[in-house]
Amino acid sequence: MKRRPWIVTDMDGTLLNDGRSISAKNVDAINKALEADIQVVIATGRDYFEANAPLVEAGLQLPIICGNGSELRDNNHAVLHRQTLDHAVFSQIETILNKFDMYFEIFTTSGSFTNNKEKGFALVADMLLSTGHFDSPAKAREFAELRFTEGMLKETSSYSTLLTTKGIDLFKVLAFSKDAVKRKKVIEELEKVNVTLTSSGDDNIEIMHPCASKGRGVKQIADKYNLNPADAVVIGDNENDRSMMETAGTAVAVANALPAIQEISDFVTLANTEDGVASVIENVLTNIVRA
């Protein structure tokens, strides 16, 4: 029996355009892949709730590797796998982040939380303004608030108290700072804790269980769906995509990907704003027909 390729795509900066939605062309390409019996999987740093929202909007039902491999869901929303951080490890993480006065959010089995929404708004707006993509503080603030709304971020007075609530487990901690020196010092401290560290942008640190990564998620999805990682075509743009690019048979970077990610890729496709994912899928479909 012939082995068939399957697709794994990152969301932000890859499948999603700069309006944080899936273009009609990308939706059409994904549906064509599914019709051709090619499995398409999402791999994202987002939690399940935030990851599923643009899929619902686009009318898509796909398996999702959430929280950089901390949780796996099938296309019917059922949980396939979870890898959570225990409270003792979180306590170490929280101590380090508070020591450096670093704003952070937590991703849990009950959604994502902030303990200071106003600080989060201000920090994210400031980071967005520094990119040069926004011409006024008001517009940057508006986009920052949109991130909180779309991400369904809830507020809690205490992370520690929340995490002692029965039934709430921790997937990921997401910390932010524009200060590269501070981030470096924080990473040096966190490397002494038994966690996985990565990032989805120049200004953040993603902290997960040591057995959680997109690469492991690809292997676990392959096991669940009787697929081969060597047949996977993965598409990404940032550091948190590195592990799955190193795991899959074919790694593709979008044109807007970090240079370091482009360097480890087999191919570079069009940017996320130019339907790069659709271009990859179309090439896969063409090669299957030719075969």
pLDDT given for residue 26 in this prediction = 99
Nearest one of 42, 35, 52 to 235, comparing CA atoms = 42
pLDDT digits (tens, 9 = 90+) for 217-239: 999 999 999 999 999 999 999 99
pLDDT given for residue 290 in this prediction = 53
CA distances from 218 to 66, 82, 215, 229 (A): 11, 14, 5, 7
Model-level pTM greater than 0.95? no
Tokens of 186: 């924080």
Residue 12 included in any domain: yes
Q: Where among 208, 227, 260 does a domain terminate?
A: 208
Residue 64 included in any domain: yes
Strand partners, 207: 173, 197
Tokens of 133: 């993509």
pLDDT given for residue 1 in this prediction = 37
Chunk the chain into consecutive blocks of 10 residues (it has 291) and report each block's average pLDDT, rounded to whole numbers. Answer: 85 94 98 98 96 97 98 96 96 98 96 89 74 73 76 89 93 95 97 96 95 98 97 98 98 97 98 98 84 44
pLDDT digits (tens, 9 = 90+) for 188-201: 999 999 999 999 98
Task: Tally the C-alpha atoms within 13 A of residue 75's C-alpha that lie toward its C-beta.
Answer: 10
pLDDT digits (tens, 9 = 90+) for 100-122: 999 999 999 999 999 998 888 78
124 and 62 in a common domain? no
Q: Where among 208, 227, 254 does a domain terminate?
A: 208
196 and 91 in a common domain? yes
pLDDT given for residue 291 in this prediction = 44
- The domain of 177 spans 87-208
Q: Where among 187, 208, 229 does a domain terminate?
A: 208
